[in-house]
Amino acid sequence: MVESLDLFPLFLSLKVATAATVLAALIGIPIAYYLSRSHGKVADFIDALTTLPVILPPTVLGYYLLVLLGRKSIIGEFLEKTFGITIVFTPFGAVLAAFVVAVPFLIKSARAAFASIDPNLIRAAKVLGRSDINIFFVVIFPLSWRGVASGIMLVFARALGDFGATLMVAGNIPNETLTMPVAIYDALLAGNHRLANVLVIIMTSVSVLLLYMMRRIEKRMVRGDGAHAARKH
């Protein structure tokens, strides 16, 4: 019985969520940092744009991605001709869909963490002779990493669970682009309740574990940094 379980969707989902999380960290953290420092019109616009995926239905997001990155689109054609990468109906598409859906959570959480740092700490560091880069690693990062880490976990959880946008952009090709949430849907439609149950339990366990870890991290964040180990500077 057990051998008949196809766990490909589980591994694909983990890979896709990991890739989307890395992408989100690389792009989301700098944006969050920028938003925490700026309050102009441009910042407001970027803020609105990066919050949009939370509000829009995943199908609408998926549709935009299809239009933007499809094989006939400018970007899609460019990627295919120069790098031989096709986005639509490939695992790349799944990664992009998961990234777009999940990155707002990281931006929000990291931005709040950066913004909660007393600007006088940064001023003090400047007056005491430190460069901006040094200040980021010695002051800003040590004081905000918990917020950023919690955002990264949230992104992973959200990326792991994406259904709508992934289905639109990557489809549900078995052993190719079939991620866990889509596989659950397919399994239910096909009457394979056992597979659906197993996948649902796995998804739930991973999500609960992530939320629990986030809670632990945030709790320490509230308690303050007074007790934690000395940091090199």
Binding site for another protein (CB under 8 A): 118, 120-121, 123-131, 134, 139, 142-143, 224-228, 230-231, 233
CA atoms of 176 and 170, how far apart (whole Å): 9
Q: Which CB, 216 or 228, lies closer to another protein?
A: 228
- Distance in Å, CB of 42 to another protein, minimum: 17
For the chain, the 3-state helix, strand and coil shares in percent, each to the nearest 5, are 80, 0, 20
CA neighbor of 34 nearest in space, from 55, 56, 53, 49: 49
Q: Which CB, 84 or 226, lies closer to another protein?
A: 226
Contact 29, 35 (CB under 8 A): no
- Distance in Å, CB of 80 to another protein, minimum: 48
Q: Which CB, 10 or 135, lies closer to another protein?
A: 135
- Distance in Å, CB of 150 to another protein, minimum: 17
- Distance in Å, CB of 220 to another protein, minimum: 12
Tokens describing residue 117? 């740092």
Q: Is 219 exposed, middle or buried (0-12, 13-18, 19+ CB in 10 A)?
A: exposed
Q: Which CB, 119 or 191, lies closer to another protein?
A: 119
